[in-house]
Homo-oligomer: A and B are copies of this chain.
Amino acid sequence: MTPSASVVDLRRDFHRHPEVGFCEFRTASRAAGILADLGWDVLVGADAMAPDSRLGVPEPTVLDAAYRRAARDGADDRFLPAMRGGLTGVLATLRGNRPGPVTALRADLDALPLAESADEAHLPAREGFRSLWPGAMHACGHDGHVAVALTIAGRLADRDFPGTVRLVLQPAEEGGRGAAAMVEAGAVDDVDVFLAAHLGLGLPTGSVCPAIPGLLANSKLRATFHGTAAHAAMAPERGRHALLGAAAAAVAVHTMPPYSGHETRVNVGMLTSGTSSNIVPDTAVMLLETRADEGAVNEELERRVRATLTGAAGMYGLDLDVELVGSVTTAPNDPDVARAVEAAARAAGATVTGPGAGIASDDATAFMRRVRAHGGVAGYLGIGADSPAPHHATRFDIDEAALPVAVNVLDRVLRGGLDLS
């Protein structure tokens, strides 16, 4: 892969090597290398993110295995060592040839823990760029995000733009775990205009939604139920059945009512307990989340979900630990940014559209809030990309025709030097 690789080639390379949050050793180090070769100032590791502000960091053995796999298979040795232990953020900065504001674009790096479809109807399978790494998949378009950002970086190497452009390559967007640590390291403290873009979102290829509203606040929890093991036939009464407590909790969490006048969501997305049919399981681990279109509502949901977990543990005589492993807040779109994006989209020949039906969360909002707190402006745009399946499904795929559209629109916005007067 070279700086001049096409956006499609870049995307397929990343698609083949999907890495989940804080494990993006190959993705991040290769991106850093490409950016450095293009002349950008590059910061990685503890210079790009505050290690202690990360949430939901995987176990050391998981990080190590991912690190070794990346080292074996394409990581850039110049940047890899600084990333050890999951410091997989990258900041790249380039000054233009005339004065102007600091404009930042965020791209996220991580894949999802999903087994990608091997069906012939799935383009990556048919064309041979399906995930090489079992149990991980780019099912949310982040492979495209990185490819687009690096392609724009190549174009901007001509320095024909006002002010300064910053690329913020963020790990662990899934789960809302990575942005806060980059914010904490000061990644956007000097930024005047902040942009995050997402491919797909139910919008058709060729369209751009200048301001995606309703990004949801989101709390991710890991709940661990501790019971007592026992022989299931000889002395079941001496056990305390962690699996049953967790199962009851999972069902009860999903009975949370919708909040009138709000978009709210809960989900128990992972549950694992026990090893054998003849043992009362002593431990159960659950990953779950709450979301709402208002921070205070999400906080109330989180409180109610925690009470539900506590009650379920009490029902089955279990102890309970609940850890916050991800946290995302809301942020509004600044109209100035939306207008600039809309103008760039029209100029680039894209169709301007409203938001699709889907709603989601993105911890890009952490950057947006910091930039606004410092007097800057921020926006979150959607770039249409047809997909045969919804985000996070095993047959999700972005229409690659959307990639040049994204490059053209974002290049134009970044290069435009958004006039904030």
The answer to whether A272 has its CB under 8 Å from any CB of chain B is yes
What 0/1 pattern do residues 233 to 254 of A give for CB contact below 8 A with B? Answer: 1111111010110111111101
Chain B residue with Cβ nearest A237: B259
In the bound complex, do residue A174 and residue B278 qualify as a contact, i.e. CB atoms below 8 Å apart? yes
A50-85 to B contact mask, C-beta < 8 Å, 1/0? 000000000000000000000000000000000000
> Is A279 an interface position by the 8 A CB rule?
yes
Whether B232 lies near A269 (C-beta < 8 A) is yes
Assess whether A326 is in contact with B258, with CB atoms less than 8 Å apart. no
Instruction: List B contacts of A237 (CB < 8 A).
Output: 257-260
| Chain B residues with CB below 8 A from A218, complex form | 233
A183: min CB distance to chain B, Å: 21
Bound-state Cα–Cα, A390 to B234, Å: 8
Q: Identify the closest chain B residue to A304 (Cβ).
A: B317
Chain B residues near A23 (CB-CB < 8 A):
none
Q: Does A202 contact B (CB under 8 A)?
A: yes
Closest chain-B Cβ to A221's Cβ sits at a distance in Å of 8
A357–B261 touching, CB < 8 Å: yes
Q: Smallest CB-CB separation from A326: which chain B residue?
A: B277
Check A274 against B270 for contact (C-beta < 8 Å).
Answer: yes
Residue among B236, B247, B307, B361 making CB contact with A315, cutoff 8 Å: B307
Taking a contact as CB atoms under 8 Å apart, the answer to whether A268 and B244 are in contact is yes
A325 closest partner in B (C-beta): B277
Per a CB cutoff under 8 Å, which of B114, B359, B390 touches A275? B114
Q: Is the CB of B315 within 8 A of A391?
A: no
- For A201, the closest partner residue in chain B by CB is B234
Q: Which B residues are in CB contact (< 8 Å) with A393?
A: 228-231
A255 at the interface (CB under 8 A from B): yes
The answer to whether A234 and B260 touch across the interface, beta carbons within 8 angstroms, is yes
A265 touches B232 (CB 8 A): yes
Q: How far is the CB of A391 from chain B (nearest CB, A)?
A: 4
| CB-based contact B247/A269 at 8 Å | no
Q: Which of A255, A279, A326 has the most CB of B within 10 A?
A: A255
CB-defined contacts of A268 to chain B, threshold 8 Å: 243-244, 274, 277
Cα-based distance from A291 to B260 in the complex (angstroms):
13
State how many angstroms separate the Cβ of A291 from the closest Cβ of chain B. Answer: 5
Selected from B229, B269, B278, the residue in CB contact (under 8 A) with A276 is B269
Given A252-B315, A258-B258; A247-B271 close (CB under 8 Å): yes
Interface positions of A (Cβ within 8 A of B)? 112-114, 135, 174-175, 201-202, 216, 218, 220-221, 228-239, 241, 243-244, 246-252, 254-255, 257-261, 263-265, 267-282, 284, 287-289, 291, 304, 307-308, 310-317, 326, 357-361, 390-394
Sample of 19 more A-B contacts, CB < 8 Å, known A218-B233, A233-B361, A269-B277: A174-B276, A233-B267, A233-B360, A234-B359, A236-B260, A237-B259, A243-B271, A244-B255, A244-B268, A246-B247, A246-B271, A247-B248, A249-B315, A251-B255, A252-B315, A270-B276, A271-B284, A307-B317, A312-B315
